[in-house]
Structure 1
């Protein structure tokens, strides 16, 4: 009987040791991966406070992330402002209206912001100068057309 208890304790000890090893590996790997992604933080969605009024607002069609017709001239304004104030960054925030589901709306707002970011980088803005911010409230106001926008600040 004593030998069975000793064997059971040994097996349980090994099992808990393996579990602890796996948990430690997962935690260590997540810390390592997070540390690797720290260099890419400016292009990721961040919690950066907005400063001042947006330089430009781009308005999108419902459920769409394709850049509006006036995007090129709005992007040019941002590029010019960043050339004037080269020490600053471009901060992009995407919004949506209340139509559709919350998860879909969040993805559409993000896709719109990414489209604007890609246009800015394509126009010569260094990718490390562009930050995307997840707005605290993604709903853009009472007017649906006004709500479907991306705001761009140089700050």
Structure 2
């Protein structure tokens, strides 16, 4: 039985064309994902990183590099960001549930406060939309959740000051307003 080589060549070219198209599709998808993440990160969107904390009073001393970096931990609508020594817990709408990684984000600030003999202040914030009383109560529950997480790490309750919920005025989005901040105080 004789085979026609031009048919074989056509089939091989067709198969190679399909493979080439698939490779281009995969490469394009990967490049697109990388570009998307880069653009989203540049706009301030949370990106995954190891939690870290830095006490501004300690920063000038020989602080390990891991403590000096701002960090973000993403969860389901909630995330944690560390900025200039302040641990910020952001919450999903209507939720007081902490984002994954809360204990890790607090570990350094708890350790630094204990080493320096200092206390921690926990402040709840909320946006200005909706019922102010409901928002204040939710901000309080969020702050209490963070406070309980700190106490669970061995900090004496008297060393964790819970501050009254505050309304955040137009200095960010409503998502950014729904937060609890933890700072080291005297």
TM-score (norm 1): 0.60
Give deviations 1:55-108, integer Å, cap 9, x for gaps.
21111111110111131222212211112212x111010011233210100000
Pair 1:138 & 2:175 matched: no
Task: Identify which of 115, 119, 129 aligns with 1:89.
Answer: 119
Structure 2 residue runs of 5 or longer lacking an equivalent are: 1-55, 58-83
Structure 1 residue runs of 5 or longer lacking an equivalent are: 1-50
Which protein, 1 or 2, shows the higher relative CO under an 8 Å CA cutoff with sep ≥ 6? Answer: 1
Name 1:4's counterpart in structure 2. Answer: none
Report if aligned partners of 2:128, 2:167 keep a CA contact under 8 Å in 1. no
Name 2:147's counterpart in structure 1. Answer: 117
Q: Which aligned runs of 4 or more in structure 1 are off by greater than 6 angstroms?
A: none
Question: What is the total number of aligned residue pairs between the two structures?
Answer: 103
The SS at the match of 2:167 is coil
In 2, Cα distance between equivalents of 1:85 and 1:60: 29
Pair 1:126 & 2:156 matched: yes
| Larger helix proportion of the pair | 1
Give deviations 1:16-66, integer Å, cap 9, x for gaps.
xxxxxxxxxxxxxxxxxxxxxxxxxxxxxxxxxxx9965211111111101
Pair 1:56 & 2:71 matched: no
Report if aligned partners of 1:54, 1:151 keep a CA contact under 8 Å in 2. no
TM-score (norm 2): 0.51
Name 2:5's counterpart in structure 1. Answer: none
Root mean square deviation of aligned Cα: 2.1
Q: Which has the larger radius of gyration?
A: 2
In 2, Cα distance between equivalents of 1:91 and 1:67: 17
Report if aligned partners of 1:58, 1:74 keep a CA contact under 8 Å in 2. no
| Larger strand proportion of the pair | 2
